[in-house]
Amino acid sequence: MTEPTAADPRLRADPLADDTVARIFGDWNDGAARLSRWEAIAHVERALAGWDTNGALDGWTADGSTPAPIVAALEDYVLQACRLPAWCDAGKIGCAEAVFADIGMLAPTLLACASLPESAVMVDPLGQQPEDRLRAAASLLLAALVRGGLLDASGAGVAQVLKLRLTNALIRHLIVRGNPAEALAHGAAIPALLPEGADDYRAFFARGWDVRANGLPRNQEELACTLLTLHYVFLRSLRRLGLGLKEQEEGAWLHAWNVVGHLLGIEEALLAATMQDAAALFARLQRAARAVARARYLAPGGKRSVPGYGKMTDPRPALAAALMRVVGDEIAPRSLTLFPVLLARRLCGPATGRILGLDGQVTSFSRALFALGMGTARCVDTAARLLCPGLSTRRLAARILGYRLAQRFLTDPVRPLDLPDALLRQVEAALRESDADPAAPGWVNAIERRCRPQRGGRSAHEAAAC
């Protein structure tokens, strides 16, 4: 394995957020009593709970119970991090919001069957369960692109991204057990410990990490890969379904997500402005991630190597299988539960499918049947649009699955999304407004209503089978 260099994006993180966390955890010289890291995190989480809208960040300060050094660190962070980039274009963001309003019910399907699988190839999920990964991606998408999310004081996009950025820095600091800059200086492997408790933060602190082999947690390369799966892979998937957007709309979508990337602390050199640039960047980062994986994981079918070689079994196929099970559970009838796997293979491509073990989850017959079905759907859609421009069987299938996933993961009253109440009400309203596809004829919407779960709490398995 090639030794990482100073130019390696895996060794670059987020100086602003990392310095903020270092101040929060650091030695205080004002006479205040030193807190444990867990007490400091508790204060930070209480402070972040107040970041419920973009407007709440304007002149924000913590309550009187928060130690002054933590308040000062967070105030400086908000002041610097909430600035939109000079190149931000309100018109393009408005266009992206309009696109999302139109295709919103497709989003859960594309996240589950394209964005998250591609992300699993290139990004260490740090132990997140498939449901949590899907909910986190959907939360970011909703916060950013629901009307006014990035530009209005009543929106929550900027506030949510800044919370995520600081949380990434907290996780990075805990995993390397100190300031990431110091971890880079010595580059030693950080041994695993017995967890001090059951919560996620204590698990991150105890997990162990090898900076030389893995780079920094949540580094620039991983952040860029994640962003690419939310804008480039998303748009590419629409194209592969025959539902591609206009060039202007694609540009607006990329622009809005690049604004999110800027707020998230991603370097501008890793923000792609066009689909061509995004494709090139994605391919380059894919190659880098696969090189790291070859050095880290055993070849498929290989036996566990001796400890001296340090290789381990590739966890990505198991992660993908778990994600596909979660999505498949929302399919009725049960005979169609392989549809998400087959769709993921098509949207992600054969190379990603092999890495994630998707080929092994389906038979050759099911793959051939799916290919025949997609080809037939393409022919039917092409011919039918001459008489009914809004008809798309592929859009219908993706909307049905998207509605089921939205019901399960986005509007579950037992486990609501980690979003402000006002934004959750917007999500509920958007879901109601998406009951019918405005581009489709009435009889197609009737089929969709028949095939999706009824609102009001019934599970997907109780819904009428289509």
DSSP string, 250-311: HHHHHHHHHHHHHHTT--GGG---SHHHHHHHHHHHHHHHHHHHHHHBPPTTPPPPPGGG--
Q: What is the mean pLDDT of residues 224-243?
A: 95
State whether residue 62 is helix, strand or coil: coil
Alpha helices for 105-246 (secondary structure H): 107-110, 116-122, 130-145, 157-176, 180-186, 200-206, 211-214, 220-240
CA–CA separation, 308 and 319 (whole Å): 26
- Least Cα distance to 117 among 351, 376, 283, 392 occurs for 351
Q: Which pLDDT belongs to residue 462?
A: 37
- 241 or 393, greater pLDDT: 241
Q: Which pLDDT belongs to residue 6?
A: 55
Burial class (CB in 10 A: 0-12, 13-18, 19+), 119: buried
Q: What is the mean pLDDT of residues 151-165?
A: 95
User: What percent of the chain is predicted at pLDDT more than 70?
Assistant: 89
- 241-275: burial string, b at 16+ Cβ within 10 Å, e else: bebebeeebbbbbbbbbbbbbbbbbbeeebbbeeb
Flag whether pLDDT at 464 surpasses 70: no
Q: What is the mean pLDDT of residues 236-242?
A: 94
Q: What is the mean pLDDT of residues 346-350?
A: 94
State whether residue 190 is helix, strand or coil: strand
What contacts 138, CB < 8 A, 6 or more positions away? Answer: 107, 108, 111, 409, 410, 417
Flag whether pLDDT at 13 surpasses 70: yes
**Per-residue confidence band for 14, with pLDDT thresholds at 50, 70 and 90:** very high
What contacts 307, CB < 8 A, 6 or more positions away? Answer: none
What contacts 104, CB < 8 A, 6 or more positions away? Answer: 430, 434
Q: Which pLDDT belongs to residue 333?
A: 65
Q: Which pLDDT belongs to residue 151?
A: 96
CA–CA separation, 81 and 84 (whole Å): 8
Q: What is the mean pLDDT of residues 40-57?
A: 93
User: DSSP letter at 312?
Assistant: B
Flag whether pLDDT at 210 surpasses 70: yes
- Least Cα distance to 432 among 454, 415, 447 occurs for 454
φ, ψ (nearest 5 deg) of residue 210: -115, 100
Structure confidence by residue, pLDDT tens digits, 281-318: 999 999 998 888 888 888 765 554 444 355 788 889 99
Q: Which pLDDT belongs to residue 361?
A: 87
Q: What is the mean pLDDT of residues 116-141?
A: 88
CB atoms < 10 A from the CB of 135, how many? 22
What's the number of CA atoms in the CB half-sphere (13 Å) around residue 95? Answer: 18
**Per-residue confidence band for 466, with pLDDT thresholds at 50, 70 and 90:** very low
**How much of the chain is helix, strand and coil, in % rounded to 5?**
65, 0, 35
Burial class (CB in 10 A: 0-12, 13-18, 19+), 105: buried
Q: Which pLDDT belongs to residue 3?
A: 42
**Per-residue confidence band for 97, with pLDDT thresholds at 50, 70 and 90:** very high
Flag whether pLDDT at 440 surpasses 80: no
**Per-residue confidence band for 383, with pLDDT thresholds at 50, 70 and 90:** confident
Q: Give me the chain's average pLDDT, please.
A: 85
What contacts 78, CB < 8 A, 6 or more positions away? Answer: 57, 60, 162
- 329 or 14, greater pLDDT: 14
Flag whether pLDDT at 201 surpasses 70: yes
Flag whether pLDDT at 263 surpasses 70: yes
Question: In whole angstroms, how far apart are CA 10 and each of 98, 219, 234?
Answer: 35, 5, 24
Burial class (CB in 10 A: 0-12, 13-18, 19+), 109: buried
Cα angle 90, 96, 101 (rounded to 5 degrees) comes to 125
Flag whether pLDDT at 219 surpasses 50: yes
Ranges 197-206, 239-248, 337-346, 386-395: which has the least confidence: 386-395
φ, ψ (nearest 5 deg) of residue 63: -75, 170
Which amino acid is present at 394?
Answer: R
Ranges 65-74, 127-136, 198-207, 431-440: which has the least confidence: 431-440
- Least Cα distance to 353 among 375, 370, 336 occurs for 370
CA–CA separation, 455 and 431 (whole Å): 10
